[in-house]
Structure 1
Amino acid sequence: MDPVRAILLAEDTDADAEMTIGALQEAHIANPVIHVRDGVEALDYLHRSGRFDHRAAGDPALVLLDINMPRMDGLEVLQSLRAEDGFRNLPIVILSSSQEEVELARHRGLGANAYVVKPHDLDRYFDTVATIGKLWGTLDRTSDN
């Protein structure tokens, strides 16, 4: 049986990262979550460079990408990945707290699989992230669903 691939979460706000990870766990998503805090770290993870140069080969099952991050924003990461043959089919979901940012990303046609505005209501946020996890992640069939 193949190992469960990770979900890469690129999010600079610790509270949003904790909520996202919590929502995935609550939804019984079996994929481990790798949390990076900016676009440079996300690319390092994907290219197995920098502090990730010794990680095992293989792409994550999904990339959850915030737009507003330091050093390199999510749209720059998305554009960079879609320009590389090896990452053109990697599932990428843009998460943003701003409808305007989501619309900007969508209109640029950079090739995200989904564009999601982070709901302000905690229950809706958990439901939204759980749905994303169920679409691209692996359910833990041993848990009490």
Structure 2
Amino acid sequence: MNRNATILIADDDDDDRYLLQSVLDDCNLLNPTVFVGDGLELLEYIRTDNNDASVGLIILDLNMPRMDGREVLKVLKTEPKLRKIPVVVLTTSKSEKDVNQCYALGANCYISKPSSFDVFNDTILTLVKFWINLTHLPIKPEPFKAFY
């Protein structure tokens, strides 16, 4: 992973995007974050100007217009150039069917969005600590920048 590895977040809900950005700002995260509103925008971003080389983590909502998260997972995990990018599904769905389907499609993690702000905040902090500070990801040799 290069030192400027991007966290790519696909979510169509403005409130959820605002909350995510607020929590990430509070983390003093040094990695850039990019928000897209649906799966087509995600694929367009990741395939444009060699952006796939700089994306280190994808946070993916399931229910979005035009192309939903399930369809995005199918594409990402079948393309050799993209399949190693970790994908965390972050969605309101708690459906066992959705959980099983996402893991079958290659999701690395499935998290249901908490309804309270405090729990949402803690969940995102834990997600960031795990994926950014603790894991060794296979895409590039350089790690994410740490935050404290």
Say whether the fold is shared (TM-score over 0.5). yes
Identify the range of structure 1 (14-23 vs 132-141) with the bigger mean alpha-carbon deviation: 132-141
Q: CA deviation at 1:139?
A: 5.1
Correspondence list, 1:118-129, <5 A: 118-129=113-124
The number of equivalent residue pairs is: 134
1:92 lines up with 2:81 in the alignment: no
1:132 matched residue in structure 2: 127
Q: 1-side partners of 2:24 and 2:125: how far apart?
A: 6
Q: CA deviation at 1:136?
A: 2.0
Instruction: Report sequence identity in percent.
Output: 37
User: 99, 108, 118: which one pairs with 1:106?
Assistant: 99
Query: Which amino acid is the alignment partner of residue 30 of structure 1?
Result: L
After TM superposition, what 4+ stretches of structure 1 lie above 3 angstroms from structure 2?
Answer: 54-57, 138-141
2:75 matched residue in structure 1: 80
Checking the alignment, whether the CA contact within 8 Å between 1:29 and 1:134 is kept in structure 2 is no
Q: 2-side partners of 1:92 and 1:43: how far apart?
A: 13
Task: Mark the runs of 5 or more structure 2 residues left unpaired by the alignment.
Answer: 133-143
Q: Deviations over 1:63-115 (max 9, x none)?
A: 00000100000110011100111112111000111201xx3233121111100
Q: CA deviation at 1:140?
A: 4.7
What root-mean-square deviation, in Å, do the aligned CA atoms of Structure 1 and Structure 2 show? 1.7
Correspondence list, 1:1-145, <5 A: 2-48=2-48, 54=49, 58-100=53-95, 103-108=96-101, 109-137=104-132, 138=144, 140-141=146-147, 145=148
| Cα gap change, 1:56 to 1:88, in 2 (>3 Å) | closer
Q: 2-side partners of 1:92 and 1:19: how far apart?
A: 19
Q: 2-side partners of 1:98 and 1:135: how far apart?
A: 22
Q: 1-side partners of 2:127 and 2:44: how far apart?
A: 24
